[in-house]
Chain A
C-alpha cells in the first residue's frame, strides 16, 4: 500500500471509446502527476498538478485530458486513442516544498490496451 490508489488496474478500450483513469492519494500531498511507461522507453512525464493547478504539460496529445478537482484526486480522460497509446499509466504524488529533494510516491499503475 503506497498511499496512491489507481483504478482501474487494467483497461481495454477501442479507438473510438471514451474512458477515464482515476487516481487518489491519501498522503496529504500537494502535487500529483501522470506518467506513461512504454516498453524500452524512459518513463515519460505527462502532466503535473501543483495545488490543483496544472504546471506541466509535456506536449501530450489532446486525446489525453487531465482533470484535478482537488489535491487528492486526479483523472486522465481518454478519447479516440491510438494503439501506440497502449502502456502502463502511473499516477504519483509528492509534497512540493519549493526546494529540491521531492520524493515521488507512485500508484500501482493502470495497464491500458487500445485495440
Chain B
C-alpha cells in the first residue's frame, strides 16, 4: 500500500511522560507530515519533515526521519491530558501530488 502505517495502534501514558509514535512506509517520499485528530473532528497539521532532513522540532514535538529504514517517529515530550488524540503520519510520495494517510495511533494521556 502507499500509505504510512503507524505503530502502536493505541498508546496510554501518564501525564508528564513522553509519548513516541512510529510510522513506516514503503516507497520513496518527498516529505512526511504528522497530523493530529481530536475525536470526531478534522485533522490538524502538526509538522512536516523533508526527505533530506533527519530531525525537526516544534515546541514539545520532535520528529525524526530515517529514509534508509523508511520510517519516522513522533515524540511528544512532557505530555498533557490535552494531547489525547489520534496521530497520523502522511507521506508525500515522489511523483504524486497527494498525501497518503495511515490508520493512526490513538494516544490517551491520563491526568
**Interface positions of A (Cβ within 8 A of B):** 2, 4, 33, 35, 40-43, 45, 48, 50, 55-56, 88, 90, 92, 96, 100-109, 111
Contact = CB atoms under 8 A, between A and B. Distances in A.
A50 B98 CA distance: 11
Given A45-B99, A56-B98, A92-B42, 14 more contacts: A41-B103, A42-B3, A42-B100, A42-B103, A43-B43, A50-B97, A90-B42, A92-B43, A96-B97, A101-B92, A103-B48, A104-B45, A106-B43, A108-B42
Interface residues of B, number: 23
A4 B97 contact: no
A28 B42 CA distance: 19
B59 interface: no
Contacts, number: 63
B97 to A, nearest CB: 7
B111 interface: no
Interface of B: 1, 3, 30-31, 33, 40-45, 48, 50, 88, 90, 92, 97-103
B102 A109 contact: no
B35 to A, nearest CB: 8
